[in-house]
Amino acid sequence: MSDDPWASADLAGRFVDGAYASVKGYVRTYVLHRQLLEHLPQPPATVLDVGGGAGHQSFPLAQAGYDVTLLDSSPAMLDKARQRLQRLPDEARRRVTLVQADGENADEAVQGRRFDAVLCHGVLGYLEQPEPLVNQLCQCTADGGVVSIMTGNAKASAVRPALERRWDDALASFDATTEIGVLGVSGRADTVEELSELTRSRGVEPLRWYGVWLFVDWLEFSGAELDPTDSPQVAATAAVELEASRRDPYRQLSRVFHLVGRKKLQADD
């Protein structure tokens, strides 16, 4: 039996071809991309995407001129990334390197290289503890570089069970830090405050945090069907989600958050 959890029950396929084919998937990529561009240096700059999966977040950056290294522990997800890579124009494809490794060994796997930006989106929740991976993210970032982490929002844990009208679960979940996620895998969530403290203690000063999706999530969990082929509607939805992701109180209720920090320059010490 494979010890790649993303190969079992076609988890890789359900994530890549299912979750990302939905309106929610589109909103996630769009909102994160726009938030990232507020902080990334101009291309060409180097980006390491840890737990980068099939490249939904970093391949658009390669197309925008960034030099991307996608590191992932799952051969099944890297196969998906290879397939998606074939669809990129030659020039963008040449800017992408795939590396199979555990994020906890990222520094060794990239041979001590330092990157202008290190991304880690939707990965921390699968790990028992965030510290070992966050250590590596901060370590692989060049001085003055950007760290971008997206993970589950522990403070919004009652949202999903409540919208699914599982009231007992919702009541029990207010102080919970784990839940079964939409892919059916148990996940852990973090708080903005704790994650900020974690990066700060590793030399990465939090700059800003955002929500990711809100209304599309609520609509989906309450049973509405959103049509991913209705491009004008999808674009209008994404514009509203982007605005909500930047503001209180909306961002506080998003089930996932996006934290962006900058690594201190040596001269700041």
* Contacts with ligand SAM, residue ranges (CB under 6 A): 6, 15, 51-53, 56-57, 72-74, 77, 102-104, 121-123, 126-127
Q: Which is nearer to ligand SAM, 53 or 60 (CB)?
A: 53
CB 50 within 8 A of CB 120: yes
CB of 264: closest distance to ligand SAM in angstroms? 25
CB of 168 to ligand SAM, least distance (A): 28
Nearest-approach distance from CB 102 to ligand SAM, in angstroms: 4
Nearer to ligand SAM, 18 or 144 (CB): 18
Q: Are 138 and 111 in contact (CB under 8 A)?
A: no
| CB-nearer residue toward ligand SAM: 60 or 122 | 122
Q: What is the CA 263 to chain-centroid distance, rounded?
A: 19
State the nearest-atom distance from the C-beta of 163 to ligand SAM, in Å: 21
Q: Which is nearer to ligand SAM, 38 or 143 (CB)?
A: 38
Q: How far is the CB of 241 from ligand SAM (least distance, A)?
A: 16
Q: Which residues of 237-264 are buried (b: 16+ CB within 10 A; e: fewer)?
A: bbeebbebbbeeebbebbbbbbbbbbbe
Q: Is 49 or 116 the residue whose CB approaches ligand SAM more closely?
A: 49
**β 46-50/178-180 pair status:** unpaired
How far apart are the two ends of the chain, measured CA to CA in Å? 49
Distance CA 136, CA 60 (A): 24
Query: Least Å distance between CB 71 and ligand SAM?
Result: 6
The distance from CA 128 to its chain's CA centroid, rounded to whole angstroms, is: 17
- Integer-rounded Cα Rg, in Å, for the chain is 18
- Measured CA distances, 152 to 56, 197, 224 (Å): 18, 16, 23
Q: Judged by CB, which is closer to ligand SAM: 46, or 73? A: 73
CA distance 218 to 145: 34
- Nearest residue (beta carbon) to ligand SAM: 53
